[in-house]
């Protein structure tokens, strides 16, 4: 049996799914779907693609796991919490869930280069089981799952009550932060809005640089994106960010933004949300079958970035597959996150080398962290 390619997924909203969707991610995908089959409170009920068993089946042994808590003041058009303090409390509950999963042996937090290397050794160098599966190892008592490594990130900075809270979060293992999500935020404007970076946002970014927190430029509106690059000289990436020229909408990056990330040594993670993959998608109305959307479409986004860079070193995987949608908004041939394993063959057909493919699937983002955490 061929060992599946190791994968580093740089954007999963695991704790949001656990606490707001009330999903036990230790359950099988089938069990979660059966449990949710009559629920109507979320559009993706019964369609989930992400859980720990599917991550292990797909050899996704490392991820960036998010916290998220939006502040929505009076008359704000997006749902969220009524105060930054409540948003902070929400993210702390999410942190508590990550800690509980660590205690259960499901996850292990990665904060340093040494921890990263040790975790990669566990997943890449230890032998598979007798049946060839790469995600079970023998303990003294019985076969146990390898813990999935996670790096803590914050999507949208609304929950940072003060900069002291940012320092506290760094001590808790926060290693990346995206200042904005959708709409106007306390520190920056995000998708579907456009305003320059606020003075508070610039202070936040400078403090991130002092602490060594990676700037995730995903979701920043165009004006805030350029302001952020002007006042931040630290490491940056775009965890889940496709190409605007292939899927026109301000949620994706224009070519000059992609070029700027490349020039700063950053990496862009490819997202598998249909609305970010193709033009013409209408939210809550379109279906993947309307476009005959397949996983191969993401290869066009990968190609576009590689052509701009002149190499395959600035693109990776940041699926966002549990970001509030499921199979109703993914490629037709993506039933589970484990189906990422079809990518290497698709890339091989396009002429990518084995080294290129290894880089896209995990090593580009790993090498970025090796440089950042040295």
Q: pLDDT for 283-330, tens place per residue?
A: 999 999 999 999 999 999 999 999 999 999 999 999 999 999 999 999
11 within 8 A of 319, measured Cβ to Cβ: yes
In which band, very low, low, confident or very high, does the pLDDT at 1 lie, cut at 50, 70 and 90? Answer: low
Look at residue 133 and tell me whether its pLDDT is greater than 70. no
177 within 8 A of 156, measured Cβ to Cβ: no
- Give residue 46's pLDDT: 97
Q: What residue ranges do the domains of the chain occupy?
A: 7-372
Helix and strand element counts for the chain (H, E): 14, 11
Q: What is the dihedral of CA 12, 25, 172, 78, to 10 degrees?
A: 50
Q: SS3 breakdown of the chain: % helix, strand, coil, rounded to 5?
A: 40, 15, 45
In which band, very low, low, confident or very high, does the pLDDT at 129 lie, cut at 50, 70 and 90? Answer: very low
Please tell me the distance from the alpha carbon of residue 88 to that of residue 157, in angstroms, as a whole number: 10
Q: pLDDT for 170-213, tens place per residue?
A: 999 999 999 999 999 999 999 999 999 999 999 999 999 999 99
- Give residue 374's pLDDT: 82
The model carries a pTM of 0.95
In which band, very low, low, confident or very high, does the pLDDT at 132 lie, cut at 50, 70 and 90? Answer: very low
Q: pLDDT for 6-65, tens place per residue?
A: 999 999 999 999 999 999 999 999 999 999 999 999 999 999 999 999 999 999 999 999
Could you tell me which of 297, 283, 191 has the C-alpha nearest to residue 238?
Answer: 191
Please tell me the distance from the alpha carbon of residue 45 to that of residue 279, in angstroms, as a whole number: 25
40 within 8 A of 55, measured Cβ to Cβ: no
> Looking at the domain 7-372, which fold is it?
TIM Barrel (3.20.20)
Across the chain, mean pLDDT equals 95
- Give residue 77's pLDDT: 86
């Amino acid at each position: 049996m061929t060992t599946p390619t190791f994968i580093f997924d740089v954007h999963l909203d695991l704790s949001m799914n656990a606490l707001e969707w009330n999903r036990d991610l230790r359950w099988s995908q089938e069990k979660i779907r059966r449990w949710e089959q009559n629920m109507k409170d979320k559009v993706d009920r019964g369609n989930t693609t992400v859980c720990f068993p599917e991550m292990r089946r797909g050899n996704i042994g490392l991820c960036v796991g998010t916290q998220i808590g939006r502040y929505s003041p009076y008359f704000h058009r997006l749902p969220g919490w009524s105060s930054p303090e409540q948003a902070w409390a929400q993210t702390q509950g999410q942190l508590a869930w990550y800690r509980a999963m660590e205690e259960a042996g499901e996850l292990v937090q990665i904060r340093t280069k040494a921890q990263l290397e040790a975790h990669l050794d566990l997943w890449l160098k230890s032998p598979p089981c007798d049946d060839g599966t790469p995600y079970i190892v023998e303990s003294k008592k019985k076969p146990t799952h390898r813990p999935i490594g996670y790096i803590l990130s914050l999507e949208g900075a609304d929950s940072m009550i003060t900069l002291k809270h940012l320092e506290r979060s760094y001590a808790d293992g926060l290693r990346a932060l995206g200042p904005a999500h959708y709409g106007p935020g306390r520190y920056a404007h995000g998708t579907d809005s456009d305003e320059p970076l606020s003075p508070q946002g610039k202070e936040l970014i400078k403090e991130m640089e002092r602490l060594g927190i990676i700037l995730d430029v995903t979701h920043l509106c165009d004006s805030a994106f350029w302001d952020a690059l002007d006042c931040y000289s630290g490491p940056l990436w775009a965890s889940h960010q496709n190409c605007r020229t292939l899927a026109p909408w301000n949620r994706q990056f224009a070519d000059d933004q992609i070029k700027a990330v490349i020039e700063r040594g950053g990496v862009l993670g490819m997202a598998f949300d249909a609305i970010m993959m193709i033009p013409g998608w209408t939210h809550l109305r379109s279906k993947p079958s309307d476009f005959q959307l397949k996983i191969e479409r993401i290869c066009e986004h990968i190609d576009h970035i590689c052509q701009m860079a002149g190499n395959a070193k600035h693109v990776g995987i940041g699926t966002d597959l549990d970001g509030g949608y499921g199979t109703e908004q993914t490629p037709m041939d993506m039933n589970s996150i484990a189906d990422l394993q079809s990518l290497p063959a698709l890339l091989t057909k396009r002429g990518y080398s084995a080294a290129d493919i290894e880089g896209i699937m995990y090593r580009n983002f790993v090498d970025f962290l090796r440089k950042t955490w040295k």
